[in-house]
Amino acid sequence: MLAHDWLTGMRGGEKVLESLCRLFPDADLVTLVHRAGTVSPAIANRRIRSSAIQHLPFATRLYRHYLPLFPTAIEMFDLDSADLVISSSHCAAKAVVPTGRARHVCYCHSPMRYAWDQFEAYFGAPRVGRVASAVLRPVLAGLARWDRATAPRVDRFVANSQFVAGRIARYYNRPALVLHPPVDTAFFTPGADAPAEPVFLVVSALVPYKQIETAIDAAGRLGARLRVVGDGPDLARLRARAGATVEFTGSLDDHALRDAYRRAQAVLLPGTEDFGIVPVEAMACGRPVIALDAGGARETVVPGVTGFLVDGNRPSDFAEAMDAARRHPFDSAAIRAHAERFGVDRFETGFRQILADALTGAPAC
């Protein structure tokens, strides 16, 4: 049995789930919400069971508004027939209730961000208003307590980065093995005839913690062109903030995204990512990355070789690094070689071994 939070279009989470579907071709898939047409055929063609939230008004678009219902919805799934449960979780999926005989391995993208350390980014007074923020604070505190209390339902945690392993230890008091997510380095490759343009690139969901405004403001300081790929609830706010040199493309299919990577002068990552699949995809295309010196970027970006890590999240800090990247002699082949360490085969081989150890009772760490 595979469990995932929601199937509504993903980046890193989708790539992990695609690998799990290949490893377990006969497993059923349970999820809180499934929006048809937003995930790859490898996932969409599974036997998919959605939760009761699926039938609530506008659930496929506004599923985050039903956050207080997630605990009840995820615990209602009947997993009595499953001897093995694998959850791919950044919110609630790790809290499914397996039978006593079943083993449960959780690939954890992150403990629930908004309940633990990003309440202000999502639900602070500047975002939702003083009254709504005050009402939501005890709700999210309750979700954090539930998130911690349900951690014992997992037999083994696998984290997508050392950064997330640290969060699992801090919030769940549990050890976690680290296995970086799979990146399709066979697809994301340098282009033979696509020279870099004088344009910087952001590829991201447009949500608060991504800090896209830092990249927008940095581009404004430099008068540099910036292309923002992605969609999300912050789109209108970011458009209003952007200057004439900033272009918003919306979401792109994989082929158009690969072309955008290949043509970028550098790819920007202004927020703290749990792992950050975008930087590795960009590096697989031979392009450098300018990332905040925090989170998973510390595990993927090699300063001076595959990009720069920026010590500070002010627009001026990123503008300085962007200006330096224009002059730095990056070696596309060396950048690509580094990215190949994060390929799909490496992930699937590693996960098979972790699962075998979990089933035989070998120590987690």
Q: Cα–Cα distances in Å, from 36 out to 32, 56, 230?
A: 13, 16, 19
pLDDT value of residue 107: 97
Top pLDDT among 124 and 303 is at 303
Q: Which of 314, 290, 317 is nearest to 301 (CA)?
A: 290
pLDDT at 364 over 60: no
pLDDT value of residue 10: 59
Helix 254-263 / helix 277-284 crossing angle, nearest 10 deg: 70
- Using 50, 70 and 90 to split pLDDT, how confident is the model at 117? confident
Model-level pTM?
0.91
Find out whether 240 and 273 touch, Cβ atoms under 8 Å: no
Interval 173-188 mean pLDDT:
96
Host H or E run for residue 85 = strand 84-89
Residues of the chain with pLDDT > 90, as a percent, come to 79
Residues of the chain with pLDDT > 70, as a percent, come to 97
Q: How many residues does the chain have?
A: 365
Give dist(CA 238, CA 213) in Å, integer: 7
pLDDT tens digits for range 282-309: 999 999 999 999 999 999 999 999 999 9
Interval 139-143 mean pLDDT:
93
Interval 1-23 mean pLDDT:
86
Alpha helices in 199-266 (DSSP H): 212-222, 235-241, 254-263
pLDDT at 41 over 60: yes
Question: Can you name the residues that pair with 71 across neighbouring β-strands?
Answer: none
Which tokens in the block code for residue 300? 């993927």
pLDDT at 311 over 60: yes
